Amino acid sequence: MAQFNLEREERKPLLEPAESDMEKNNLAFEPNEEIMQNGYNKKTSETRETKITGKKLLVVGCILTTELCERLTYYSVVANLVLYCTSVLDLTSSTAATVSLVFSGTVYIIPVFGGYVADSLAGKYNTILGSGLIYVLGLFLLPASATDFQEWFGTDDEGAAYDLNVETRKIYFFMGMTFVAIGTGGIKANVGPFGAQQVDDLGPEAVQSFFNWFYWFINAGALIAYSGVAYIQQNISFQLGFLVPLVSMIIALIVFVAVKKQYINTPPGGSILTDSFGVCAATSCQGFDHARKHNGGKYENVMVDGVIAVLRTLPVFLLIIMYWAIYSQMQSTFFLQSERMDIRIGDVKMPAAVLNIFNTLIILILIPIMDRGVYPLLAKFNRSPTHLQRIGVGMILAAGSVIVAGVLEIYRKEELRTSGGIQQELGRRYI
């Protein structure tokens, strides 16, 4: 959850470097405007500790491993969500796509509440751990909804199968997805800032580098999920395919707790969200100066300046809504499109969800190149791109992906009219 550092001497607003995710949601704001224009505040980083100890590497490594396992878990759940809904729960394709989109939307709303709980009540560590336990509860229900209990218990004396009907499977499934959404939302809000907190004393460049590698580990987990786990779910069984994320999340919690005593923890000190709304309310529609202490308000200048800085960035992040509208199609309409294309490469049936790995592969390749090669080289020539420039390039590429998908759909439907298309078995049904 975004927080203001009230102990800094600078009094101007700043947008500190943050994660750009599948996940890109955990932005940390501090009072200095320089970073928005030039990237790093080099003067500040020179005054901070620069030594990276083995203890620090262990702590950061555990957090990154935790995130890898958690993201592997999450993407294993959503990779074949549409296929599971249509093949096991007997939902229509449109309903299955809606379920996928509603779940994804919920996952991105819950971090607001997860951040509030961490900031005001429980602290980041406790919130991450508690969310992880809720997560595991949901992951127990998912394989239960997919299990063929008749194989285990057979039939009764009258020949009736000891098994769950479709409606009962739906109950198990939607209960499980609810717990998963709560769990992943609570973790998403806090694990990135919690990790950055561990390297904050190394300066802004270390924080930026942490988030780059944090995002790399996110996509490493996604790569495993969309290739290996999706293959198991589609071509072997959902029962086994849903056990993998359960085991992965248990490993994530074990690794996270293993170095508990080594973490840098800050106690809850009130929600920045509550304080921000308080600043806005204190203006009384007469300008932010009315909220400042020296003008009779109750908020320090640094707090008011921070709120102003956030509000100035809102036009940028309103545009990001469009980016996420595109991104969410990969797990819904793009998946439905891939279901209706020939997924065979030779004699091997590739997972329909495998198209998502192109997104993760390019990120896994580019992050080390950009972090260790391109950006330092540009910095030497004083040509470092601003955050807005980087975002703009990403949006252009995202728009291009939708154009490509649209053109592909035109040709796919034309092929369907001329040849009748193909028929193939995915999960338990023929497409």
Question: Tell me: the pLDDT tens digits for 340-389?
Answer: 777 777 777 777 777 778 877 887 788 788 878 888 898 888 888 888 88
R_g of the chain computed on alpha carbons: 24
Q: Which pTM does this prediction carry? A: 0.74
CA 72 to chain centre: 11
C-alpha 283/C-alpha 307 separation (Å) is: 12
Is the pLDDT at 308 greater than 70? The verdict is yes
Tokens of 62: 């555990």
C-alpha 304/C-alpha 288 separation (Å) is: 7
C-alpha 352/C-alpha 144 separation (Å) is: 23
Alpha helices in 147-237 (DSSP H): 149-153, 166-199, 204-224, 230-235
- Which residues, 6+ apart, have CB-to-CB distance to 331 below 8 Å? 78, 79, 81, 82, 100, 104, 356
Residues 226 and 351 sit within 8 Å (Cβ to Cβ): yes
Residues 304 and 292 sit within 8 Å (Cβ to Cβ): yes
Q: How many CB atoms lie within 10 A of CB 323?
A: 16
Alpha helices in 47-165 (DSSP H): 54-79, 81-87, 93-117, 124-146, 149-153
pLDDT at 164: 83
C-alpha 226/C-alpha 287 separation (Å) is: 50
- The mean pLDDT value for 64-83 works out to 93
C-alpha 70/C-alpha 78 separation (Å) is: 13
Where do we find the tokens 């779940």?
A: 103
Residue 141 in 3-state DSSP? helix
- CATH value of 14-310 in 1.10.1280.10, 3.40.190.10, 1.20.1250.20, 1.10.10.60: 1.20.1250.20
pLDDT at 163: 75
The answer to which of 177-181, 406-410, 417-421 has the lowest mean pLDDT is 417-421
Of 44-53, 109-118, 177-186, 226-235, highest mean pLDDT:
177-186
Which is higher by pLDDT, 303 or 45? 303
The answer to which of 12-26, 225-239, 290-304 has the lowest mean pLDDT is 12-26
